[in-house]
Amino acid sequence: MRKIWIVAAALLTFSFALAGCGGSNQADQTAGSQTGSESSKESAEPVKWIVNSVWPEDNHHSQGLHEFAAKVKEATGGKVELDVMTGGALSYKGPELLKAVRDGLVPVSDMLTSGVAGDEPLFGLVTLPFLVQSFEEGKKLNEIARPYFDKAAEEKWNQKILYIAPWPPAGFWTKNEVHSLKDMEGLKMRTYDENGALVVEAAGGTPHPLPFSEVYSSLATGVIDSVLTSTPTAVDAKFWEVLDYYVPANVTMATNLVTVNLDQFNKLDKETQEAIIQAGKEMEAEMWEKVAKLDQEQEGIANENGIKTLQPDEAFLKELSEVTKDIRENWLKQAPAEAQEIVEKFHQEVGR
């Protein structure tokens, strides 16, 4: 019995010695280190946002989104990753995208600026017919309008504009030759926004506001016989299989917004937010630089595949400008006050 007590006392003394040397603390530290490692691993998980695009994978806006995703990943050190879904994979057709991003149904989306003007009238300014008469003027209009667009997006639609990218100017794609207003009478023309529809009506045609995904089949089945759009869309849809002519009338110059849900954006730390904003500025500058060259390239592809370009003469352009004058004036009368300010500043800048 005496031996048992001696052994127990020895063991108790040894345990105190371990405690004094930090034995139990070291175990706690090891456990704490493992917990901290797991916590660090969890905090290092990137924020992943799905990015919606209704345009085909090869379209310049879709390609721009992929480039932007790479910029964001690099600029944020991998903290934010964008998963770009092109070709309408998420089943959005376009006009509802301002609401979809606002409500967080999709965190980031590309959207046609004028295509969501039904919800935000200010955005319809971009495609006022014949307001912009050159690519440089389109860029100037965007620069003037951007602060107003930013405010509307954030204060009214719970989203932040990351960048705005242009389309080449829109012209007429037809089955028959078009040289005058008389040639446009009776055309069944696809349009992509209200302003385009008003132009077609003023020129004597019938507008058909179809989503991009339905354009080719509608041409093939005779629902429409012409399209108001830009060269990249013509190439994306292989218009040469169903149409014959292109009239580069520079009717409008559309743009796309790329926006992020503001609630999602505000969850990021300030440094990460600033990195994404800077990546957006870089992407916007690059997209505007690329598009003028892209327009020529895409028209060339259409020509090589059988589309014939019909350059409009001054008389035809004057006719178009005159019959669409009321469209511009009427739109501005009922437009938000900010739109009138933008147009006034734009006219001062371009001297008209």
What is the rounded radius of gyration, in angstroms, for the C-alpha atoms of the chain? 29
pLDDT greater than 70 at residue 13: no
Does 109 map to a domain?
Answer: yes
Does 56 map to a domain?
Answer: yes
Instruction: Tell me how far apart the 2 most distant CA atoms of the chain are, in Å.
Output: 122
User: What pLDDT is stored for residue 301 in this prediction?
Assistant: 97
Strands 226-229 and 171-174: antiparallel
Tell me the C-alpha distance between 132 and 265, whole Å: 33
Does 203 map to a domain?
Answer: no
pLDDT greater than 50 at residue 64: yes
Strands 108-112 and 47-52: parallel
| Mean pLDDT of the 158-175 span | 96
What residue ranges in the chain does DSSP mark as E strands? 47-52, 80-85, 108-112, 159-166, 171-174, 188-191, 206-209, 226-229, 245-247, 255-261, 308-309
User: How does the average pLDDT of the chain come out, rounded?
Assistant: 89
Helices (H), 21-134: 23-43, 60-75, 97-102
Identify the band that residue 15 occupies on the pLDDT scale cut at 50, 70 and 90: very low
pLDDT greater than 90 at residue 29: no
Does 145 map to a domain?
Answer: yes
Are the C-beta atoms of 247 and 312 separated by less than 8 Å?
Answer: yes
- CB atoms under 10 Å from CB of 350, counted, come to 15
User: What pLDDT is stored for residue 31 in this prediction?
Assistant: 41
Give me the half-sphere count of Cα atoms (radius 13 Å) on the Cβ side of residue 51: 27
Are the C-beta atoms of 75 and 62 separated by less than 8 Å?
Answer: no
pLDDT (tens digit per residue) in 224-248: 999 999 999 999 899 999 999 999 9
Tell me the C-alpha distance between 333 and 319, whole Å: 23
Looking at the 3D structure of the chain, how many domains does it have?
1
> Regarding predicted confidence, which is higher, 296 or 26?
296
Domain that holds residue 100: 45-168+253-300
- Cα 63 to Cα 58, 287, 290, distances in angstroms: 6, 10, 12
Does 100 map to a domain?
Answer: yes
76 phi and psi angles, rounded to 5 deg:
-95, 5
pLDDT (tens digit per residue) in 183-226: 999 999 999 888 899 999 999 999 999 988 899 999 999 999 99
Does 80 map to a domain?
Answer: yes
67 phi and psi angles, rounded to 5 deg:
-65, -40
Does 329 map to a domain?
Answer: no
pLDDT (tens digit per residue) in 330-343: 999 999 999 999 99
CATH number of the domain that 283 lies in? Answer: 3.40.190.170
Does 209 map to a domain?
Answer: no
